[in-house]
């Protein structure tokens, strides 16, 4: 597609191929794992980190936010940095910065310095994913693109669903510091692979000279403030909090300035006509909903197992791992199929499987534990691999090679916002649904009602032998009834959550049906 996402008037050519392309590809794929794994393990281990640094609940809530907001800040400009300074140079600096910060964070003397370390680590890891797809596509011939994209998708899915197991292992067998030190260790082979497998590129002074600096500042600031508002919105009760109002207002102002800048500057950083293309808009919207559904299920299932069943992180990871493991086999098969089948068909089939998995999980009862989730999780694993790989490949088919780096930035911004919608809005939805269900159930559990009195008396009689007098037995009976109501309210909220995700899948399927085949004359 002419114009693409490259700076207007500076189409450029793909960078030289690496002497050891597979080593370079291993570096960027490892980077995508590190970026996703770091944020997820930190989120799962937040309670333990909070206790270790003696931080309050509200203060510690900013620990994962500091890293992910920094990732959002650098994500949109990572592609430009790669074009201007070369992917090798950018990733060497970023990986070194990330590894150093990750190694030092556990030694932070207080929460303030821990947040600074998180922000620095986020700035480093924020370049990893935006540059991955670009380097993979530039290093492989087109016939191997499905394989490269499948490896990318496999890495993302594995790193999304194994953190609960890792966090549980660290706490059971090592210490909380390993939540951060894992990143420092993984950054070492990444730096080695970058140095050995990526070609050296000269600084592109033409790109530097014609940089749309204000456009990048507006976009990074606007999207970062929007992400922070989404991340903290549930905790701060959304529009009832002045900070959220400020973040949303600042985001709206900066993003409006960004759009105005790109529409009026003679050398725009982003070609808006490209982004407003029918298929591109649909594909980016599908990607947002895809991430919403994935992170929604990744939130609901651990919450159910933790709140209702009392599982620990390592036990929760035993369920989520069943989304990750099948993808080792599925991803290569999907890549092979995409060589012969229209990606839209594979995308639709995978999306439908995800929707079916959500409806299966919506049949949840208080008796469900790990085994009951396996059928839906395996079906979701099949669907996720098929849908993600097909979606990225179909997006790629709308691009020229020169557009690949900036495409990575667009995907990074979209996937981060979609993920935050999935976790942030789902938290609010489940909380509000639980409150509504608790109220409705409470209408049927009125003090003095015959059924309620009978149940309390029967339970008190059963507890009498283990209680000190009838008063204590009656009190314990009332507490058990209240617990049963709360458990049922939580369960119904989780059912509502799965049904909401299934509805999002239906919207995705409608959008997929509206996609058109890419025009070969536009893809160069």
pLDDT value of position 101: 95
The number of angstroms, rounded, from the C-alpha of 103 to the middle of its chain's C-alpha atoms is 23
DSSP code string of 387-436: HHHHHHHHHHTT--GGGHHHHHHHHHHHHHHHHHIIIIIHHHHHHHHHHH
Of 37, 165, 21, which is closest to residue 88 (Cα–Cα)? 21
Q: Distance between CA atoms of 189 and 357, rounded to whole angstroms?
A: 37
Of 224, 283, 268, which is closest to residue 73 (Cα–Cα)? 224
Tokens (6 digits) for 219: 């976009």
pLDDT value of position 255: 94
pLDDT value of position 89: 93
Q: What is the pLDDT along the chain (524 residues), one digit of tens a residue?
A: 333 334 433 444 445 555 578 888 888 888 888 888 888 788 878 888 888 888 888 888 899 999 999 999 998 888 889 888 988 999 999 999 999 999 999 999 888 899 999 999 999 998 888 888 778 877 888 778 788 877 777 766 666 677 777 877 888 788 889 999 998 999 999 999 999 888 888 898 888 888 888 989 999 999 999 999 999 988 898 898 999 999 999 999 999 999 999 888 888 877 777 777 788 889 889 999 998 998 888 888 888 888 888 777 667 777 777 777 777 788 888 888 888 888 999 999 999 999 999 999 999 988 888 788 888 988 988 898 889 889 888 888 777 655 555 566 677 788 888 888 888 888 889 999 988 988 888 777 666 555 556 666 666 566 666 665 666 666 666 666 677 778 888 889 999 999 999 999 999 999 999 998 876 555 54
Query: CA neighbours within 13 Å on the CB side: how many for 222?
Result: 17
Q: At what angle do helices 327-337 and 370-396 cross, to 10 degrees?
A: 30
DSSP code string of 17-79: PPSSHHHHHHHHHHHHHHHHHHHHHHHHTHHHHHHHTT--HHHHTHHHHHHHHHHHHHHHHHH
Tell me the three state secondary structure of residue 306: helix
pLDDT value of position 45: 83
pLDDT value of position 463: 60
Of 235, 223, 221, which is closest to residue 63 (Cα–Cα)? 235
pLDDT value of position 449: 58
CB 32 within 8 A of CB 129: yes
CB 393 within 8 A of CB 338: yes
pLDDT value of position 118: 94
């Amino acid at each position: 597609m002419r114009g693409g996402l490259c700076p207007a008037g500076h189409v450029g050519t793909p960078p030289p191929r690496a002497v050891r392309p597979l080593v370079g590809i291993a570096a960027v794929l490892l980077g995508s794992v590190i970026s996703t794994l770091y944020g997820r393990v930190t989120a799962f281990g937040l309670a333990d980190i909070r206790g270790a640094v003696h931080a309050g609940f509200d203060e510690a809530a900013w620990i994962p936010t500091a890293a992910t907001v920094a990732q959002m800040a650098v994500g949109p400009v990572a592609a430009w940095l790669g074009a201007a300074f070369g992917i090798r140079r950018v990733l060497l600096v970023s990986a070194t910065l990330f590894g150093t910060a990750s190694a030092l964070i556990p030694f932070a003397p207080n929460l303030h310095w821990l947040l600074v370390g998180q922000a620095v680590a986020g700035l480093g890891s924020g370049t990893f994913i935006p540059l991955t797809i670009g380097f993979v596509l530039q290093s492989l011939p087109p016939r191997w693109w499905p394989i490269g994209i499948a490896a990318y998708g496999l890495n993302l899915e594995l790193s999304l669903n194994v953190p609960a197991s890792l966090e549980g292992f660290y706490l059971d067998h090592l210490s909380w510091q390993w939540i951060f030190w894992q990143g420092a260790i993984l950054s070492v082979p990444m730096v080695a692979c970058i140095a050995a497998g990526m070609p050296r590129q000269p600084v592109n002074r033409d790109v530097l000279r014609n940089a749309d600096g204000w456009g990048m500042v507006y976009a990074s600031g606007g999207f970062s403030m929007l992400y922070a508002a989404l991340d903290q919105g549930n905790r701060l009760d959304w529009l009832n909090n002045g900070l959220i109002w400020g973040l949303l207002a600042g985001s709206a102002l900066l993003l409006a300035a960004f759009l105005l800048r790109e529409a009026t500057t003679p050398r725009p950083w982003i070609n808006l006509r490209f982004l407003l293309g029918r298929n591109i808009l649909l594909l980016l919207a599908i990607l947002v909903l895809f991430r919403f559904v994935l992170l929604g299920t990744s939130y609901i299932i651990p919450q159910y197992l933790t709140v209702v069943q009392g599982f620990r992180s390592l036990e929760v990871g035993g369920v989520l791992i069943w989304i990750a493991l099948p993808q080792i086999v599925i991803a290569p098969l999907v890549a092979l199929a995409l060589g012969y089948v229209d990606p839209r068909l594979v995308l639709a089939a995978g999306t439908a499987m995800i929707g079916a998995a959500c409806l299966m999980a919506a049949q949840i009862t208080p008796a469900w534990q790990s085994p009951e989730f396996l059928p839906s999780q395996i079906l979701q694993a099949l669907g996720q691999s098929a849908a993600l790989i097909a979606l990225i490949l179909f997006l790629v088919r709308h691009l020229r090679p020169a557009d690949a780096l900036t495409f990575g930035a667009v995907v990074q911004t979209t996937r981060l916002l979609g993920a935050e919608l999935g976790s942030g809005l789902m938290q609010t939805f489940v909380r509000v649904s639980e409150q509504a269900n608790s109220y409705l159930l409470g209408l049927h559990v009125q003090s003095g009602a015959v059924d309620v009195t009978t149940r309390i008396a029967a339970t008190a009689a059963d507890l009498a032998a283990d209680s000190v007098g009838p008063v204590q037995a009656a009190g314990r009976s009332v507490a058990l009834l209240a617990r049963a109501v709360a458990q049922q309210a939580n369960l119904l909220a989780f059912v509502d959550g799965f049904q909401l995700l299934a509805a999002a899948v239906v919207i995705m399927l409608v959008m997929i049906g509206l996609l058109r085949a890419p025009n070969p004359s536009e893809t160069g």
